[in-house]
Structure 1
Amino acid sequence: MSPTKWDGPELIWRGKPSEAPSCSSVGLWPPLSHWGDDSVTYYAVGDFYSDLKPGGACPGCACTPPQCAMPEYLAYTVLELDDPRNRPGERCEADLYFGAFDGFETAGAWDGTCLRHDAVPAAPLATAFVHPSASAALCEPFTSPAGLDALVDTVWRVCGKSFSLERECDDSVERCMPAAPEGFRYCLTLLTEGEPYDEPTQCPPSYPERSQVFRYISGCDPCACTTVTPPECTVSLSRYRDPECNDLISTDTVFEPDEGGHWAMHGRTCLEMPAEGTVGGVSATAVTHREGACEVAGGDQVAEPQLEGRYVLCCEAAPGG
């Protein structure tokens, strides 16, 4: 079988469903797939399963609530008009007629730690526009770990990690991959559904441990979640004169998102700019005033549960193995 058919390597944890770590708890991100036209309905399709127990029932569904998240980018809009309705520390109530646009995008997910800010708005007053991470307004579905314990012996938790490769790694990706978190191993995956399982699928030497696993649990309605109430959040934004964030200018509250879970285009927070017109660095802290709420659907049993979507995994040897 051609090695080009292998996908991965993926970071995978193997064990009892109720003991599986969340991806975020080990600094990784869960693989999610978006099905259909509903932008707030997502199905978590990352895990694999094996060792079905006889007589098991559908495990049931639950949702992780939408969370307040740090912004993906921050922008200053410099006000062109001096309007008395726009007061520092409050929402800018006047129409935004602006003559300059300064700001920056964060390099991926921002945790609020100090970032260099090269924009130099030359105005006494500006507005702050902070756009949160797209994941902030999502309710994410998951199957009940206790219910999975009664249905299967083993879950294969799949997590992702973003990392860049140096130029010298182009011809040897494995050599430059970051170390796997404790309990995780790198594995290659191969879809074999619809093909004879006895067709040769020899594992590469660096991934010698071969296992048959399954992607889906049939007989159960898929889990889905809809956001009923978005979280109510604010961001405390600190601005500094220096890029190392030592010389504080001020700390201001940037107001909560609108009903759609996005920071309002109008009614942005008015910020007083320093007299010298220089902002060298910024930091931020997210504050949750009200957690979001979700509505769960799916998980009903419509037939005897079965494992479907057959894959072959080839994993690194276990440490000490």
Structure 2
Amino acid sequence: MKRTCLALALLFAACLEGCDLTSTVVYETCAEQCSTALDPDACIARCGTCPGQCVNPTPEGFDGPALLWVGRTVDEPQCPESAATTVYTGYETPDDPMECSRCLCGEPACALPDELRAATSMRCDGSMPVPLDARDILNGACVPANEALVSDRKSLLLGSPTVTPCEPMIELAPVPRILFSRWYRSGKACAGLAREGVCASPSKTCVPAEQMQDFSQCIMHVGEGEVTCPQDYPEQVVLYDGMKDERRCTPCECGPPTGSECSLMLLSYRDGACSDLLTAGVSSKDPGCIAPTPGVQPKSMKAIWHVNEPGSCEPSGGELKGEIVLTGPSTFCCQTRPGRNSY
């Protein structure tokens, strides 16, 4: 927001706090104004009449009057010649779109059990099974069997597969268009020369009149608080210095995998090349027990996926929360609503 205070006796009675004085108008009598004119008599005749509008004194708590325009920011006009000084600029409607990126989830995966264990009994019901280093087997490699892995006197306990969680991802939102301004609608107040002693009523002041269709004669109250517009200026317009953007996107998250089905099959073979199948055991939600074949010792082993369907995860988040908060209000009270043809 930009505000300029003019020392215009009744037009701007006092400079508001934080307001920069950029122009001063000195009142002169008609004789003083016309002393250097080529035709002083004609100048005095013109000077004695009000070329604009005679208005009552500005009510206490307000500044002005001034001519106010409100409309689309891209359509902002120049101040009229009769009121060529811009004394205020503010804003009405933001134009700052925000869109959150779309939340997605990566795919889960069926994960191999941590280890293979050897049990002392034939049915995995003996003492605590001993862990074996069987990473190659669990990774699908054909591994020659040895006494540490299998025999015809002990069973194998294959742990349950697990499902890895999904990683949240985002699909970037479209890049917003380049804006001329962060504001769709704005306002502008203009002031010019004020004259005393030229109106029929001595209490009134002559100010520039509304000569352009989208400008209106208004008075202004700066700051917070309830404002009641006087009868002379019944139309209320609120403009703002700026905005505080409190919008945010909620973080992306992924729910647990659903629809998952993972099971692992442990195979043993009579030969050393994993081609002559001997036994097969399956591990899914529960560990699988692979019982030995009495009198036969496998020569090789490997594990393969029996079912590898890890399912999917439901994404959440990426929702727009919060809002734009308008700051620094100024209330204008106008004779007619400005910008009435630009909505």
TM-score class, shorter = 0.3 to 0.5
Q: What's the TM-score once normalised by structure 1's chain length?
A: 0.33
Of structures 1 and 2, the one scoring higher in RCO (CA 8 A, sep 6+) is 1
Q: What's the TM-score once normalised by structure 2's chain length?
A: 0.32
Compare CA radii of gyration and give the structure with the larger one. 2
